[in-house]
Amino acid sequence: MKLTNRERVDGTDITIGHRVYRTKGTKKVCKTYTAEYRDLDGKQCYESLKTKNKLQARRLAIELQQRIEKGIDLPRPSTISIEQLTEQYLLITKAKGLSPKTIAKYTTDIDKLKEFCIEQKIEFARHFSENDLYLYRQFLVDKKYADKTVQGAIVLAKQLFKWAWRQGMLQQYRLEAASFAKAKSAPQPCFTTAQVDKLINVGEAEEKLAFALMGYAGLRIGEVEQLERRDIITKKKKFTMIHIRRGGSNGTTKDKDDRFVPIHPKIAELLKSKKRVHGVLLPEINARGLLKRLKILCKKCKFKKPTQYKLHSFRHHFASMCANHGVAHRKALAWLGHSSSEMLDLYYHLHDEDSQKTMAELAKSHNSNLRPFEDSLRTVGQSKIVKNVQPPELQELIDVILAGNKKAERAGFEPAVGTSPTQPFQGCSISHSDTSP
């Protein structure tokens, strides 16, 4: 906890001030005064004085000092154990209606925390300090957990103790000042367009359409499993849009919002051969079985490192394809169902073949822009009348360019190069992936 407008009250060891807290990422200052002091055991304590008047706050601080010295009304230390605290926290998260996957993740991370506390012989929640949090992080690193897993466990631990403090189970939140560097995401596999097409070709029955929906519409496997025939929108006997409204938990999408994705021609072609039925569009598709088949097909197609690919690799391909074809961020976010471009940047991959194609287009654009510039200079240089009236510095530059002297020192930048229509999203990192089909 932090105080602003701090003032040490004369004749006491108590500091008064206004508590600073955060709400939805914004700093706010409490209007009432709070007292900061140390109890007889030397532990730092905070107590709201419940007044906005500074003079009244000073008087209350003096009374508090007297009570502390006499040992009267001292706050009792919390006796809640780590085991009890984590158990209550899990009950509350389940009551909030979080998805089963989120609850499972919370349970796993809390088990890690309890294992650490048993090893360090930390029984009561009030004894868990900032230093213990740093030791907990090192404990997870030593266990060889991935950086993202470690970060998630640390965030949950801070969230747990902050919740306990807000609920009055703990007298103070001791982990506020602890900070850690943000973990970098591990590189994720991503299919090339040639690989997606090959998988669609070698797939059997409903696998073909499932691969196409993930690779050319960005659907998650849960959304593919729960897609119904009525979600395929047609107009004038043509397939136009996919209405995605299920795929997560509780009968909704993962982000709880519906979205619409235009139908790619490859998907439309496969839909034509699909019989018009009611209910689930692909009843034979399930995540576990399709993942197993994907591994087999990747090996059959002789992809490099075939076991690295996941069903989510199709979604990465769709995001990268949107980026490489100049789709606006807002459109891509709407199609993929993300509210933040940070996730979109995480999905982006630039394969070598796409990179080489873009460079070729850049070179072509450069040459086309430079040619009119050279022609104009040649025209100027060939005119004796204009040549005589040019300033010596400009005429010298014209003569050098016309003579093809490449050793001349340039005083400025070359003419601007045209922007490629396949310019990727700004801020995306470039990773080299397998380009062989």
| Domain 193-347 belongs in CATH node 1.10.443.10 | yes
Kindly state the percentage of the chain with pLDDT values over 90: 40
Which residue would you say has higher pLDDT here, 75 or 223? 223
* CA–CA separation, 411 and 223 (whole Å): 58
Q: For the CA atoms of the chain, what is the radius of gyration? A: 32
Using DSSP's 3-state secondary structure scheme, residue 76 falls into coil
Q: Is the pLDDT of residue 73 over 50?
A: yes
> Which regions of the chain carry the CATH code 1.10.443.10?
193-347
What gap in Å lies between CA 432 and CA 320, rounded to an integer? 13
pLDDT band at 21 (very low <50, low <70, confident <90, very high): confident
Average pLDDT over residues 72-97: 82
Q: Residue 44 in contact with residue 22, Cβ under 8 Å?
A: no
Q: Does the pLDDT value for residue 120 go beyond 90? A: yes
Which range is least confidently modeled, 125-139, 311-325, 353-367?
353-367
Residue 405 — pLDDT band, cuts 50, 70, 90? very low
Predicted local confidence at residue 407, as pLDDT: 44
* Span of 31-45, 53-67, 197-211 with lowest mean pLDDT: 31-45
29 bridge partner residues: 20
Sheet holding 2-8, edge to edge: 2-8, 15-23, 26-38, 44-48
Residues paired with residue 18 on neighbouring β-strands, in sequence order: 4, 33
The Cβ of residue 371 has, within 10 Å, a number of other Cβ atoms equal to: 10
DSSP letters spanning 266-293: HHHHHHHTS---SSBS-TT--HHHHHHH
Q: How does residue 427 score in pLDDT terms, banded at 50, 70 and 90?
A: very low
* Dihedral angle sign, alpha carbons of residues 170, 172, 174, 177: positive
Q: Distance (Å, rounded) from C-alpha 409 to C-alpha 368? A: 23
State the average pLDDT over residues 264-289: 88
Q: What is the spatial distance between Cα 293 and Cα 274, in angstroms, rounded to a whole number? A: 21
Cα gap 161→166, rounded to integer Å = 9
**Could you tell me which residue, 17 or 379, shows the higher pLDDT?**
17
**If pLDDT is split at 50, 70 and 90, which confidence band does 98 have?**
confident
- Listed in sequence order, the residues at least 6 apart from 320 whose beta carbon sits closer than 8 Å to its beta carbon are 190, 347, 348, 349, 350, 351, 354
In the chain, ranges of CATH 1.10.150 domains? 82-166
Question: Could you identify the residue written with the tokens 């979604």?
Answer: 315
pTM of this prediction?
Answer: 0.55
Q: How far apart are CA 153 and CA 137, in angstroms?
A: 8
Question: What's the chain's average pLDDT?
Answer: 79
φ/ψ of 288, rounded to 5, equals -65, -45
The pLDDT of residue 24 is above 70: no
- Residue range 158-182: mean pLDDT, rounded: 88
Is the pLDDT at 296 greater than 90, yes or no? yes
Task: Return the bridge partners of 262, or none.
Answer: 241
How far is the CA of 161 from the CAs of 47, 166, 311, 398, in angstroms? 18, 9, 36, 72
d(CA 32, CA 246): 47
Name residue, tokens 């959304």: 223
CATH class of domain segment(s) 82-166 = mainly alpha
**Closest residue by Cα to residue 82 from 125, 42, 142:** 125
pLDDT tens, position by position, 43-66: 778 888 989 999 999 999 998 888
Q: What angle do CA 34, 40, 41 make, to 5 degrees?
A: 105
The answer, yes or no, to whether residue 152 has pLDDT greater than 90, is yes
Candidates 351, 352, 321, 358; CA nearest to 336 is 321
